[in-house]
Amino acid sequence: MRRVERRFRCTACGKCCCGSLPLTLGDALRHAHRFPLAFVWTAVPQSARVYSLVARLGTPIRLPQRGKVAVLIAPTAYLPPSFPCPELAGDGSCGIHAIKPARCRTMPFYPYREERDQDDLLEPREGWECDTSAAAPVVYRDHAIVERDDFDRERAALLAEAPTMRTYTAYVVKYMPWVIEYLDAAVRDRNGRVVTSLSSFLTATRNSDKARIAQQQVPVLTALRESTAGSPDLSTYHREYCGWLTEMQYLAGSIPT
């Protein structure tokens, strides 16, 4: 086997803090007052290298045109690719470093991949300012993560939350069957994804804290509705923020029944 050794040190430059960020469910709900939350569905065919892992973290289902697939549902801080993380400080550093989500701590490693397949995530990319020089510590050697506590914690959280996500999957498939058609199209597109709302998750799982979580989301979605208004490139995001805001206002009790 080819010997692999990668060095890496995050320089907290903010370059990797733009757009959507997948979160553990626990992190998503803890940071509901910071990030606009949605659930991003990705369908992985059986022929994919990551199928077995995704089936453990997600839910195997059958699509009419594709047969059996593994569906990963990631709670996500749902932002346009051009938008920076709302918690970046003025100097580009993390403004919530002490309590930042597991996903931010584990980067550039990715728990939705097997450990042996992390090598290319450490290859320097255009615009990447992270330190990969000889002065940086070795973080990956012979297809194994060296300092692995953050990776293991994030993976363990995802596995522990998998039963809850399967409950949500069953609810959506039953009451929102259009998702199956959209997933089928997403597999065909290869890079496609399906997005569902936080309100559907809170309803499906009968979350006892849904009013408080919804109240936290209202100002976040209100601000994003305003910042995406009038931009053709952001029209899809704007439409989603508007719809989700109405749903959160309802769950929070801001709109009379």
150 token code pair: 């953050």
Q: In whole angstroms, how far apart are CA 242 and each of 124, 223, 232?
A: 38, 10, 15
Q: How far apart, in whole angstroms, are the C-alpha atoms of residue 199 and residue 168?
A: 11
In a shared domain, residues 167 and 224: no
In a shared domain, residues 41 and 144: yes
User: Quick check: pTM over 0.95?
Assistant: no
CA dihedral over 163, 164, 169, 175, signed as positive or negative: positive
Q: How far apart, in whole angstroms, are the C-alpha atoms of residue 14 and residue 19?
A: 11
In a shared domain, residues 45 and 161: yes
In a shared domain, residues 200 and 227: no
Q: φ, ψ for residue 253 (rounded to 5)?
A: 90, 15
Q: pLDDT for 187-245, tens place per residue?
A: 887 677 999 999 999 999 999 999 999 999 999 999 999 999 999 999 999 999 999 99
In a shared domain, residues 133 and 144: yes
In a shared domain, residues 97 and 219: no
In a shared domain, residues 130 and 173: yes
In a shared domain, residues 200 and 214: no
Q: How far apart, in whole angstroms, are the C-alpha atoms of residue 130 and residue 28?
A: 26
The per-residue pLDDT for 74 is 96
Q: How many domains does the chain have?
A: 2
In a shared domain, residues 150 and 245: no
* Ranges of the chain with pLDDT below 50: 1, 257
The candidate with the shortest Cα–Cα distance to 40, out of 159, 162, 179, is 179
What is residue 66's DSSP assignment? T
Location of structure tokens 């995704």? 54
Q: Tell me which H or E stretch contains 185.
A: helix 178-189
Q: How far apart, in whole angstroms, are the C-alpha atoms of residue 32 and residue 103?
A: 15
In a shared domain, residues 69 and 51: yes
Domain ranges, residue 123:
5-206
Q: How far apart, in whole angstroms, are the C-alpha atoms of residue 247 and residue 121?
A: 37
In a shared domain, residues 19 and 133: yes
For residue 85, the Cα-to-chain-centroid distance in whole angstroms is 13
The per-residue pLDDT for 1 is 46
In a shared domain, residues 123 and 175: yes
